[in-house]
Amino acid sequence: MDTNLALILVLTPLLGFLVNVFFGKSLGKTVSGAIGTIAVAISFVVSVLLFNQITSTGKGIEVTLFDWIQISNLKINLGFLLDQLSVLWLLFVTGIGSLIHLYSISYMHDDENMHKFFAYLNLFVFFMITLVIGSNLLVLFIGWEGVGLCSYLLIGFWHKNQDYNDAAKKAFIMNRIGDLGLLIGMFIIGSMFSTLDYATLKTAIAGASNLNLPLLSLAALCLFIGACGKSAQIPLYTWLPDAMAGPTPVSALIHAATMVTAGIFMVTRLNFVFDLATDVQSVIAIIGAITSLVAATIGLVQTDIKKVLAYSTVSQLGLMFLALGFGAYEVAVFHVITHAFFKACLFLGSGSVIHGLHGEQDMRNMGGLRKAMPITFWTMLISSLAISGVPFFSGFFSKDEILLTAFHHSIPLYVVGSIASIMTAFYMFRLMFLTFFKEFRGTEEQKHHLHESGSLITIPLIILAILATFGGLISLPGNSWLNEYLAPLFTKVAGEEHHLGTTEYTLMGVAVLGGLLGILIAYVKYFKQDNVPESNENITGLSKVLYNKYYVDEIYDAVFVAPVNSLSKFFRDYIETGLSAAVFGLGKIANEIAFQGKKLQTGSIGLYLFVFVLGLCAIVSYIFLAQ
Amino acid sequence: MIHIPDFAHATTVQVIFCFLAFITVITAFLTIFSRNPIHSAIYLVICFFSIAGHYLLLNSQFLAVVHIIVYSGAIMILFLFTIMLMNLNEQREVHRPRITRLGAIVSFCLILIVLITIFINSKPIVGEYDSTGEDFQSIKVLGKILLDEYMVPFEFASVLLLVAMIGTVLLSKKEKLNK
Amino acid sequence: MGNILNQIGIENYIFLSVVLFCIGIFGVLYRRNAIIVFMSIEIMLNAVNLLFVAFSTYHQDAQGQVFVFFSMAVAAAEVAVGLAILVSIFRNIGSISIDNLKNLKG
């Protein structure tokens, strides 16, 4: 029964993918979209069933399909592990996935390759489920690579634009760097414990008497590099903003809600490894904090609506890693969930806006959309409030918990995180004000066509907005359902942060005030004073640095790409020329020798016979006389 | 060492051998030097007959008979037929350059010297020759050996001759028939 | 009856066949006419056969004669095929001088 459920869960999206790939074109757009959506929805229903089962029994389900690899003492099964963590992930992956599929039916309806789009989306969901429910690191790795592939395919979905293709390649290559780290980490763990299975690994680590801690830390660091690549942390974050080249539902599903949280999932899954590697935990916390701040500052001045959201995503992911670094896995998971709700809602809202404006993404050409698109406006407003940490919205609870955890462990990192949160509030409301308030700044034609999107677009928005509002209820401070639910996964005793004292209330107040301050600044600057960000040439000073993303891409270009290019050029111009000359030279020498030798072949049989007899004489005399 | 025959006290056998050897060498040379191919062929027949005489002298009657049948009978007839078929005569003989003759004579002397030196250098034969008195070369014995010990090569030889026959027919067929 | 070699000596047969063999080689080199070249080759073959028979007597063994028998069979086949080839060459180029056969030129 469990095996069947798990197989249905995994294989339905794959089936959807196959149907759409092979028959999508002939089925027509609506049918193809419906198939894709239903496939994911079935997976969601199965996830809900599994969730019910697990909450009632309190035990994870292990499904082993078959022995996969067996080399000496290393044994790897193809198996699934459906425990609290993976089922939680499944719920929002398939849940939000279904909503986004539904949304895409309307959003992508004008695209000629819609069946391909749904095929890729289904394939993505398949790989994401594999990643989440794999019972060992190798199965996770399959999913990990698979989602990377789908991400590549979907970023470059509009492949007629070369910039988009470049963005897709960038994402793929950046991810490969991280994947290498993940692989090395897996190798180290495999060689240390002869297993990649989570459960076996956990007991092995718990039971090990003299553990090689430095090596384990190295493994943890390598795994974290993998997480960095997938979850867009410094120094591998630059692909995520570029990944906005893909269609907006893709940005919502892959680059905000699900795939980018794979790194957090992996770290949480292997919490027993990271708990032992305290140095690596500090590295994670610091990198998370820095990423959060850097991305937030860049987000302050971006004018492309999706770029703002992308940097916001990077920043929020940084906050999650901050929590992971302190060993507060359940807090990170909580933020992953709330973030999935409100960020998906924000992306879908921005998609609705872009759809309404026929592809316009620059906020300087928007404005005043509040009346034309009320549902979009209200849902996005709710989500913005949630992400800014306004009390009683979901983001407030999760972000507050992260900051609380940070405060208990390290004041500097708490400050960094708080500043990032204030900035978040500022740029989110800058986005809201520039997009929805004041007068419309676009062309007359666009203004004429302004309209609210259809119900297929607004229904997912409304559902997500509701979730963004009430999502925080799963983990209220002091009375956290989520912490209890996840408790069996973690070795350490959770709950030390949950006695609510004056410090906690003060910090909450500070956070709320900070958020409100950010909103206020945005209000003054972009509503009262009616500023509009200037066009690209007029940006100067610090904003110019920020607008150009700290020139990180340029620095990477100069440090990594340019040397490689010049090295290749060197090899092409000198080494290869030399090699070719050498090879051609050898050929010429052989040719010349053959040409000279050819003259010996006169074709005169008399001469041949004469030489033959002389040779016979020589050989016979050598054999019989030269002793 | 070269045994110089003592002509004064030569036995009959020795006289016959010397006579036959003389004929063999002379006719072999004449075969080569004759300008007319038909003369060459006739000298060659004489040469083969003398070799058959050698065989008889060595008491291998069967081989002597087979030799006469195969060489003097079959092969020489073939040669003569071919020569007549091509209508070869002295006039058609091409002029040979001097360098070719010189080269041929030099190599002839060279290989002769080399081979004779080798045989002189090799271990001299001492003592009496064995004579078991057993019959080893009559037709009866040879026939038994051929069809017993050498059965398979014997059959292969027949196959070889068959194949050679087919090949010859194919080769000498007029090619116009194919076109 | 004693061994005939007691009266003649194996070495005389050896020298006779060496001389015959060398005459064969000489003929091959000296003549341009392919038929005479063929005849020279037959002389060489006969020189070897003679030696075989002589040694067969020397060893009082029939194996040498059996070998001569096979050698004759091969020679017969060779002559038949070789002459057929010569005929076909003659038919194609109108000459059997080996100087005219230059197709082996590289």
- Using alpha carbons only, how large is chain A's radius of gyration in Å? 30
The H or E element that residue A63 is part of is strand A61-71
Domain co-membership, A480 together with A362 = yes
Q: Region of A381 please: left (phi>0), alpha (psi -120 to 50) or beta.
A: alpha
Scan for tokens 């500097």, then name that residue. A412
User: Between A and B, how many residue pairs show a Cβ–Cβ distance under 8 A?
Assistant: 26
Give yes or no for residue B122 having a pLDDT over 80.
no
Q: How confident is the model at residue A126 (pLDDT cuts 50, 70, 90)?
A: very high
Residue type, A548: N
Q: For position C94, what pLDDT does the model report? A: 79
CATH for C7-94? Answer: 1.10.287.3510
- On whether the CB atoms of residues C86 and C100 are closer than 8 A, the answer is no
Give yes or no for residue A274 having a pLDDT over 80.
yes
pLDDT above 90 as % of chain A: 17
Q: For the residues A444-471, what does the mean pLDDT come to? A: 84
User: Smallest CA–CA separation between B59 and chain C, in Å?
Assistant: 8
Binary contact (B168, C84; C-beta < 8 A): yes
**b/e map A101-116, b = 16+ CB within 10 Å:** bbbbbbbbeeeebbbb
Question: Which residue, A498, A533, A568, sits at the end of a domain?
Answer: A533
Q: For position A555, what pLDDT does the model report? A: 83
Q: How confident is the model at residue B154 (pLDDT cuts 50, 70, 90)?
A: very high
Q: How confident is the model at residue C74 (pLDDT cuts 50, 70, 90)?
A: very high
Q: For position C2, what pLDDT does the model report? A: 56
- Helix locations, A194-277, DSSP H: 198-207, 213-230, 239-242, 248-252, 262-269, 271-276
Question: Which residues from A are below 8 Å from C28, CB to CB?
Answer: 609
Q: For the residues A376-382, what does the mean pLDDT come to? A: 90
Backbone angles phi and psi of A600, in degrees to 5: -65, -30
CA dihedral in degrees (A305, A307, A313, A314; nearest 10)? -160
Beta carbons within 10 angstroms of residue A494's beta carbon:
18
Q: For position A485, what pLDDT does the model report? A: 82
Domain co-membership, A427 together with A512 = yes
- Does A624 lie at the interface with B, CB-CB under 8 angstroms? yes
Rounded to a whole number of angstroms, the distance between the first and last alpha carbons of chain B is 64
Find residue A70's DSSP bridge partners: A75
Give yes or no for residue C60 having a pLDDT over 60.
yes
Tokens for A439? 């007068």
Domain co-membership, A298 together with A407 = yes
Domain co-membership, A460 together with A348 = yes
3-state secondary structure of A458: helix
Question: Which residues from C are below 8 Å from B130, CB to CB?
Answer: 3, 58-60
Q: Is the dihedral of CA A358, A361, A363, A365 positive or negative?
A: negative
- Helix locations, A450-525, DSSP H: 455-470, 481-486, 502-523
Q: What is the pLDDT of residues A514-523, one digit of tens each?
A: 888 888 888 8
The nearest alpha carbon in chain B to A627 belongs to B121
Nearest by Cα to A86 from A325, A260, A281, A262:
A262
Q: How confident is the model at residue B3 (pLDDT cuts 50, 70, 90)?
A: low
Q: Which residue has the higher pLDDT, A280 or A479?
A: A280
Backbone angles phi and psi of A579, in degrees to 5: -60, -45
Q: For position C3, what pLDDT does the model report? A: 66
> Does residue A501 lie within any of the structural domains?
yes
Q: For position C106, what pLDDT does the model report? A: 58
pLDDT above 90 as % of chain B: 29
Q: Residue B102: which CATH number?
A: 1.20.120.1200
Q: For the residues A385-401, what does the mean pLDDT come to? A: 86
Question: Which residues from C are below 8 Å from A613, CB to CB?
Answer: 25, 29
> Does residue B21 lie within any of the structural domains?
yes
Nearest by Cα to C16 from B41, B54, B123:
B54
Q: For position A591, what pLDDT does the model report? A: 93
**b/e map C48-77, b = 16+ CB within 10 Å:** bbbbbbbbbbbeeebebbbbbbbebbebbb
Domain co-membership, A382 together with A426 = yes
- On whether the CB atoms of residues A475 and A401 are closer than 8 A, the answer is yes
The three-point CA angle B114-B119-B120 to 5° equals 95
Q: For position B127, what pLDDT does the model report? A: 60
Residue type, A50: L
Cis check for the bond before A235: say yes or no (omega within 30 of 0): yes
- DSSP letter at A135 equals S
Give yes or no for residue A434 having a pLDDT over 80.
yes
Q: What is the pLDDT of residues B9-52, one digit of tens each?
A: 678 888 888 899 999 999 999 999 888 888 999 999 999 999 99
Tokens for A305? 């609506």
User: Smallest CA–CA separation between A612 and chain C, in Å?
Assistant: 10
Question: How far, in whole angstroms, is CA A364 from its chain's centroid?
Answer: 28
Tokens for C82? 């070789």
- Does B89 lie at the interface with A, CB-CB under 8 angstroms? no
Looking at chain B, which runs of residues are DSSP E strands?
Answer: none
Beta carbons within 10 angstroms of residue A498's beta carbon:
16
Binary contact (C106, A608; C-beta < 8 A): no
When divided into structural domains, chain A yields a total of 2
Nearest by Cα to A401 from A312, A329, A450:
A329
Q: How confident is the model at residue B179 (pLDDT cuts 50, 70, 90)?
A: very low
Binary contact (A617, B111; C-beta < 8 A): yes
- On whether the CB atoms of residues A243 and A231 are closer than 8 A, the answer is no
Q: What is the pLDDT of residues A542-558, one digit of tens each?
A: 777 777 777 777 888 88
> Does residue A138 lie within any of the structural domains?
no
- Does A617 lie at the interface with B, CB-CB under 8 angstroms? yes
Residue type, A142: I
CA–CA gap between residue A345 and residue A252 (Å, rounded): 8
Tokens for A623? 């054999």
Question: Which residue, A533, A564, A582, sits at the end of a domain?
Answer: A533
Whole-number average pLDDT of chain B: 83
Q: Is the dihedral of CA A255, A258, A261, A262 positive or negative?
A: negative
When divided into structural domains, chain B yields a total of 1
Question: Which residues from A are below 8 Å from C106, CB to CB?
Answer: 597-601, 603
3-state secondary structure A65-106: EEEEEEECCEEEEEEEEECHHHHHHHHHHHHHHHHHHHHHHH
Domain co-membership, A518 together with A466 = yes
Rounded to a whole number of angstroms, the distance between the first and last alpha carbons of chain C is 60
- Does A601 lie at the interface with C, CB-CB under 8 angstroms? yes
Nearest by Cα to A168 from A65, A274, A254:
A254
Which B residues 109-128 touch C at CB under 8 Å?
A: 111-112, 115-116, 119, 125, 128
Domain containing B68 equals 7-122
Question: Which residue, A500, A533, A566, sits at the end of a domain?
Answer: A533
Q: Which residue has the higher pLDDT, C26 or A604?
A: C26
Backbone angles phi and psi of B126, in degrees to 5: -115, 155
CA–CA gap between residue A420 and residue A299 (Å, rounded): 10
Whole-number average pLDDT of chain A: 86
CA–CA gap between residue A376 and residue A374 (Å, rounded): 5
- On whether the CB atoms of residues A36 and A119 are closer than 8 A, the answer is yes
Q: What is the pLDDT of residues A32-69, one digit of tens each?
A: 889 999 999 999 999 999 898 888 887 888 888 888 88
The H or E element that residue C20 is part of is helix C10-30
Q: What is the pLDDT of residues A211-260, one digit of tens each?
A: 788 888 999 999 999 999 888 888 888 888 888 888 888 888 888 888 88
Q: For position C51, what pLDDT does the model report? A: 92
Domain co-membership, A451 together with A576 = no
Q: How confident is the model at residue A539 (pLDDT cuts 50, 70, 90)?
A: low
Q: What is the pLDDT of residues A143-197, one digit of tens each?
A: 999 999 999 999 888 888 888 888 898 889 888 989 999 999 999 988 888 888 8
Domain co-membership, A460 together with A601 = no
Domain co-membership, A462 together with A514 = yes
Domain co-membership, A596 together with A527 = no
- DSSP letter at A210 equals S
Q: For position A222, what pLDDT does the model report? A: 92
> Does residue B166 lie within any of the structural domains?
no
Looking at A370-520, which runs of residues are DSSP E strands?
Answer: 475-476, 479-480
Q: How far is CA B72 from CA A211, C28, C34, C49, C50, in A?
A: 99, 20, 19, 15, 15
- Helix locations, A326-480, DSSP H: 329-356, 369-372, 374-388, 394-409, 411-436, 444-449, 455-470
Scan for tokens 């066009």, then name that residue. A535
CA within 13 Å, CB half, C53: 31
Q: For position B8, what pLDDT does the model report? A: 67
Domain co-membership, A559 together with A500 = no
| Domains in chain C: boundaries | 7-94
> Does residue B178 lie within any of the structural domains?
no
Question: How far, in whole angstroms, is CA A233 from its chain's centroid?
Answer: 10
- DSSP letter at C97 equals B
Q: Whole-model pTM?
A: 0.67
Which A residues 573-612 touch B at CB under 8 Å?
A: 606, 610
Domain containing A367 equals 293-533
pLDDT above 70 as % of chain A: 96
- On whether the CB atoms of residues B35 and C30 are closer than 8 A, the answer is no
**How deeply is A163 buried, as exposed, middle or buried, from its count of CB atoms within 10 A (0-12, 13-18, 19+)?**
exposed
Give yes or no for residue A339 having a pLDDT over 70.
yes
CA–CA gap between residue A135 and residue A80 (Å, rounded): 4
Q: For the residues A254-279, what does the mean pLDDT come to? A: 87
